[in-house]
């Protein structure tokens, strides 16, 4: 039986250099796969897909069966937290997620007492995944970072620059602080619950960290993640945490030491020199441009080679700099896997 620490991704998260590096891709279970689209069509809606263990387990396993990735990540969504807080989360075809925007006055009324009951199907999915995955495959749980989740709760939808949330923080700092603190606590508890039912490691997605200035990044991105990591380390010692602060650029240089994460996720805009400096402190994850998965061919090969040449001599989990897009050709993923693993360099 493979111990969790012996899984390739877990070795890298512990600071080891593994060659060739282990691979998984953000959004590896998704619309680019025909089997996903077939399964998705059987669900009443996107949240139904997330909350139905039979379906969520199936779509999580699909890319593992097809490609043999070294890690599977729970199929769910970062917005299950506001959904558990009764914010009327729903997904509109062609428009994305929508919910009731939260007012400053409503922040103090948020009630998480029923959160774990609401999210019980997610925990069941994690439990079943650990039982059904190959023993050598790492199982990753995840959640959205408090800042990123707050941006959707405040605007009620996605926006290009998250101006509504940034303005809310300026105009209502006390209520915004309460919202961030609340999300920090319940998000850490959510990850701990995933760990308790089988997740080997967890990732915190701060997808909108890049819109924050230096001071705000420290307050709204770094500080909450640090508190989450501290709680996880205290209550479930030894479980690695990956932090992905997309778009944070130069602010990532001290992100590991400032937050305590074991691994720093890198988006595709992070320069090689900065990436290598970050890697001196431990594991990094990333960071090929997802569009290369659409382009394929030489562009794909060059992207793979560049990441490995830049970061392959240290602890690296090969991944994209953000999620694989629906336009990607599934055969390009096969090409990527072969390239990373050295099967083909022609």
Residue owning tokens 């959510």: 190
Percentage of the chain beyond pLDDT 90 is: 96
Mean pLDDT of 205-231: 98
Residue owning tokens 């090409």: 335
Confidence band (pLDDT; 50, 70, 90) for 189? very high
Reply yes or no on whether 313 is catalytic: no
Determine the pLDDT at residue 105: 97
Reply yes or no on whether 152 is catalytic: yes
| Catalytic residue chosen out of the listed positions 70, 77, 206, 289 | 77
Domain covering 4-340 in this structure, CATH number: 3.20.20.210
| Catalytic residue chosen out of the listed positions 36, 67, 152, 220 | 152
Confidence band (pLDDT; 50, 70, 90) for 92? confident
Asked if pLDDT for residue 344 goes beyond 60, the answer is: no
Mean pLDDT of 8-28: 98
Reply yes or no on whether 220 is catalytic: no
Determine the pLDDT at residue 343: 59
Asked if pLDDT for residue 336 goes beyond 80, the answer is: yes
Determine the pLDDT at residue 95: 83
* Structural domain boundaries in the chain: 4-340
Asked if pLDDT for residue 90 goes beyond 80, the answer is: yes
Confidence band (pLDDT; 50, 70, 90) for 39? very high
Contacts of residue 101, defined as CB under 8 A and 6 or more positions apart, other chains included, come to 153, 154, 155, 156, 164
| Catalytic residue chosen out of the listed positions 31, 127, 130, 341 | 31
Asked if pLDDT for residue 345 goes beyond 50, the answer is: no
Percentage of the chain beyond pLDDT 70 is: 98
Determine the pLDDT at residue 93: 81
| Catalytic residue chosen out of the listed positions 7, 27, 292, 339 | 27
Asked if pLDDT for residue 204 goes beyond 90, the answer is: yes
Reply yes or no on whether 40 is catalytic: yes
Determine the pLDDT at residue 41: 96
Mean pLDDT of 266-286: 98
Asked if pLDDT for residue 4 goes beyond 70, the answer is: yes
On average, the pLDDT of the chain sits at 96
């Amino acid at each position: 039986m493979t111990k969790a620490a012996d899984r390739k991704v877990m070795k890298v998260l512990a600071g080891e250099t593994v060659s060739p590096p282990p691979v998984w891709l953000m959004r590896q279970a998704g619309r680019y796969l025909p089997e996903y689209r077939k399964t998705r069509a059987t669900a009443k809606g996107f949240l139904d897909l997330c909350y139905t263990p039979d379906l969520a387990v199936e779509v999580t396993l699909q890319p593992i069966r097809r490609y043999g990735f070294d890690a599977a990540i729970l199929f769910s969504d970062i917005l299950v937290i506001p959904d558990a807080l009764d914010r009327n989360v729903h997904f509109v075809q062609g428009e994305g997620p929508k919910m009731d925007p939260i007012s400053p006055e409503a922040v103090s009324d948020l009630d998480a007492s029923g959160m774990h009951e609401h999210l019980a199907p997610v925990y069941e999915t994690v439990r079943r995944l650990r039982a059904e995955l190959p023993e050598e495959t790492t199982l990753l749980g995840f959640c959205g970072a408090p800042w990123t989740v707050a941006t959707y709760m405040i605007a009620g939808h996605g926006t290009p620059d998250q101006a509504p949330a940034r303005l809310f923080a300026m105009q209502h700092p006390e209520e915004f602080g309460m919202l961030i603190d609340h999300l920090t606590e319940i998000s850490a508890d959510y990850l701990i619950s995933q760990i308790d039912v089988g997740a080997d490691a967890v990732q915190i997605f701060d997808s909108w960290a890049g819109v924050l200035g230096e001071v705000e990044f420290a307050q709204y991105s770094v500080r909450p993640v640090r508190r989450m990591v501290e709680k996880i380390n205290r209550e479930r010692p030894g479980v690695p945490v990956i932090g992905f602060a997309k778009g944070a650029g130069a602010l990532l240089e001290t992100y590991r030491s400032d937050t305590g994460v074991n691994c720093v996720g890198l988006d595709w805009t992070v320069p090689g020199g900065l990436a290598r400096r970050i890697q001196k402190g431990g594991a990094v994850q990333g960071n090929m441009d997802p569009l290369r998965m659409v382009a394929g061919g030489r562009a794909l090969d060059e992207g793979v080679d560049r990441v490995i040449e830049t970061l392959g001599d240290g602890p690296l989990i090969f991944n994209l700099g953000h999620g694989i897009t629906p336009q990607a050709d599934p055969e390009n993923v096969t090409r990527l896997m072969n390239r990373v693993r050295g099967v083909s360099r022609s």
